Structure 1
Amino acid sequence: MDGGAFGAGKAGGAFDPHAFIRQPQTLLRLLSWVFSIVVFGSIVNEGYVNRVDETQEHCIFNRNRNACNYGITVGVLAFLSCLLYLALDAYFPQISSVKDRKKAVLSDIGVSAFWAFLWFVGFCFLTNQWQASKEEDNPLNEGGDAARAAITFSFFSIFTWVSTAAMMLDQVSPALC
């Protein structure tokens, strides 16, 4: 751990992009960012299908529009959250106030834990709805790859967000003692 407050050195140093990219929280955040793109991208791209005899599109997750909407919404908001906290991580060494650094790290812990929870709910919801849709008659198994990708990367997202929260908690716990 660096010699400064809340895991950073003294404020005012120049921004080093190579050091920034090599930070574990940056790598986890970039991974979370990619996972969120896969989840909402796969649902937006192949998450709705038309039946031959129907004109209205249906969600591939048991025809439950809420499942598709949840996956898209959580994916897009997680994408934006990753970008926001990547910017905060880049700006963090410039923050001179220990109180402001503490607020930034604590908000990061809270947001990361919240996203881990939302991804857990999403994983359970999408898995349940996909299992229910498999029991229906779907002879072509339309959208199966997209559904499996959304479910798989929702599961992976749980671990990236929990790891980010744990990493931030490691930074703040020595400073609180």
Structure 2
Amino acid sequence: MEQGAYGAGKAGGAFDPQTFIRQPHTILRMVSWLFSIVVFGGIVNEGYVNRPEEKEEYCIFNRNQNACNYGITVGVLAFLSCLLYLALDVYFPQISSVKDRKKAVLSDIGVSGLWAFLWFVSFCFLADQWRVSKKENNPFNEGADAARAAITFSLFSVFTWGIQTFLAFRRLGEITFQEEYNTLFPSSPPVLP
């Protein structure tokens, strides 16, 4: 077993992209990143339509601007959050302090849990508004595929962010174990008189 904090044996070493890409949390972040692009991209591109007699475009989700705005906002912020935490994942092996690693993992747990919740709200809100708009025989058939995609990928995002939260909890357990191990068994032998 290597000396030092969890993963810190390679601190200062070269970045290995193959190892990085094969990690489950990295794959999930990239999938979540892709899902966020699908959600906000679909709403931005096809989420606003108008009737021939109208000049102003309306949101296809029951003509509720808040539904489109929420979907776009959550999608864009999740996109940026994925990029930020991918950068943290690249930098993570370089962090040698167990306390700093613990802070990074705790922030990952909090952010991933928050995004799982926000995506759940997005799924419920968009699905309900779409249900109401279809119930009223809304003639907006344009953008129906984009609306369904936004709803579907919001649901998928709940699961990807939830699994990321679980993986971060598991990583926290490993770090906490290593911290306790280092406390009980210091790496330098005690000096005897």
For Structure 1 versus Structure 2, the TM-score category normalised by the shorter chain is over 0.9
The whole-number CA distance in structure 2 between the counterparts of 1:175 and 1:26 is: 18
Larger radius of gyration: 2
Residue identity over aligned pairs, in percent, reads 71
Any runs of at least 4 consecutive aligned residues in structure 1 with deviations exceeding 6 A, and if so which? none
The 1:164/1:3 distance shift into structure 2, 3 A limit, reads farther
Shift of 1:136: 2.0
**Aligned counterparts of 2:3 and 2:41: Cα–Cα separation in 1:** 41
RMSD: 1.5
Cα distance change on mapping 1:15 and 1:38 into 2, 3 Å = same
CA distance in 2, matches of 1:171, 1:55: 53
In 2, Cα distance between equivalents of 1:108 and 1:139: 43
> 1:5 touches 1:101 (CA, 8 Å); kept in 2?
no
Check if 1:122 corresponds to 2:118.
Answer: no
1:49 and 1:58 in contact (8 A); partners too:
yes
Using the alignment, how far apart are the partners of 1:160 and 1:59 within structure 2?
Answer: 27
Partner of 2:185: none
Residue 4 of structure 1 deviates from its aligned partner by 6.2
Instruction: Quote the offset at 1:72 in angstroms.
Output: 0.2
Partner of 1:112 in structure 2? 112
Aligned twin of 1:80 = 80
Match of 1:136 in 2: 136
Q: Cα gap change, 1:140/1:84 in structure 2, threshold over 3 Å: closer, same or farther?
A: closer
Q: Given the superposition, is the C-alpha separation of residues 145 and 117 from structure 1 closer, same or farther in structure 2, using an over 3 Å criterion?
A: same
1:47 is the counterpart of 2:47: yes
Matches within 5 A, 1:8-157: 8-10=7-9, 11-139=11-139, 141-157=141-157
Query: TM-score normalized by structure 1?
Result: 0.94
Query: What is the number of residues matched between the two proteins?
Result: 175
Structure 1 spans left out of the alignment, 5+ residues: none
Distance in structure 2 (CA, Å) of the matches to 1:92 and 1:173: 16
Of 35-44 and 52-61, deviating more is 52-61
